[in-house]
Amino acid sequence: MSERGAILFARYAYPPNELGYCGPADSTALLRPTDIGGIERGARQFDGAWCYLEFLAESAGLDDPLDERVVEAYWIGNELLDRADPEALLARMRDRFRGQSGGTWREAAGSALAHHSFQVFDVYPWAGLLRASGSATALSVLDRCRIRTGVVGAVDGESATVESRPLTWTGTALIPGPPRQESVRWSTGGRSLIPGLAPGDLVALHWDWVCDVITQPQAARIESTEASRLAPALAPTRSGAATPALRR
């Protein structure tokens, strides 16, 4: 098992786990980088994410779902996504999530993607709810649940001010809005999975948490992959489910 991959998974998975949306009951287990076995056990309890990680690993001929390349492909995106067959992914999901309602993923056909943006915009029902009602709650969840990019403006203890672009709803489309300042955390109780943070850092965000300091190519991949999901997920020919559920 890859230590670097396990820690990378924890960096992105901790925020929703802390909020109680997915994963193990003890979210602090993901903040113990010396306990790689504990992180792996916790990762297996993320039903949705683990399904994608297993699929990506198998598609790439790797035997470790927590290989760093696999984890990066799911949360950020990399060349492993190109090796994963969309139809095979849908077949895996139909088997794994049989009986689970929500989202438009069953209609994704050749566009299914083993990436977190697909989970957010196609598997969860929030995009359909937004299209049907313009729900402010749905817009907020989509914006916070996705992996988004930002630039650190200031650091104050375990918090930071970051400039990012929230999603906005035009009535027919989801698009990045004007830049805004938001307050986020990068550490809690002295625990963090990144060594530090400084003004000017380019970062990846999940809910109200800084997951990692990233490169420009990684930021571009996050943004372009998200853009590829927005139009299909909100297509008017699709029908969203009525019951919102966060399941990773």
Residue 64 placed within a domain = yes
Residue 69 placed within a domain = yes
CA–centroid distance for 103 within its chain: 16
Instruction: Give the range among 9-23, 88-102, 160-174, 233-247 with minimum mean pLDDT.
Output: 233-247
Question: What's the CA angle centered on 125, arms 55 and 214, to 5 degrees?
Answer: 55
Give the three-state DSSP class for 140: helix
Read off the tokens for 23: 């994963």
Q: Which domain holds residue 41?
A: 3-100
Residue 26 placed within a domain = yes
Whole-angstrom distance, CA of residue 149 vs CA of residue 23 = 23
Residue 22 placed within a domain = yes
**Per-residue pLDDT at 235:** 63
Residue 107 placed within a domain = no
Ranges 154-158, 235-239, 242-246, most confident: 154-158
Question: CA–CA distance from 113 to each of 40, 48, 175, 197 (Å)?
Answer: 23, 13, 20, 31
Residue 244 pLDDT > 90: no
Residue 58 placed within a domain = yes
pTM of the model: 0.92
Read off the tokens for 110: 């050749």
pLDDT digits (tens, 9 = 90+) for 84-108: 999 999 999 998 887 766 788 888 8
> How many independent structural domains does the chain possess?
1
According to DSSP, the β-strands at 159-164 and 147-156 are: antiparallel
Residue 60 placed within a domain = yes
Instruction: Give the range among 5-9, 31-35, 160-164, 228-232 with minimum mean pLDDT.
Output: 228-232
Minimal CA–CA distance to 56: which of 35, 26, 77?
Answer: 77
Residue 214 placed within a domain = no
**Per-residue pLDDT at 114:** 96
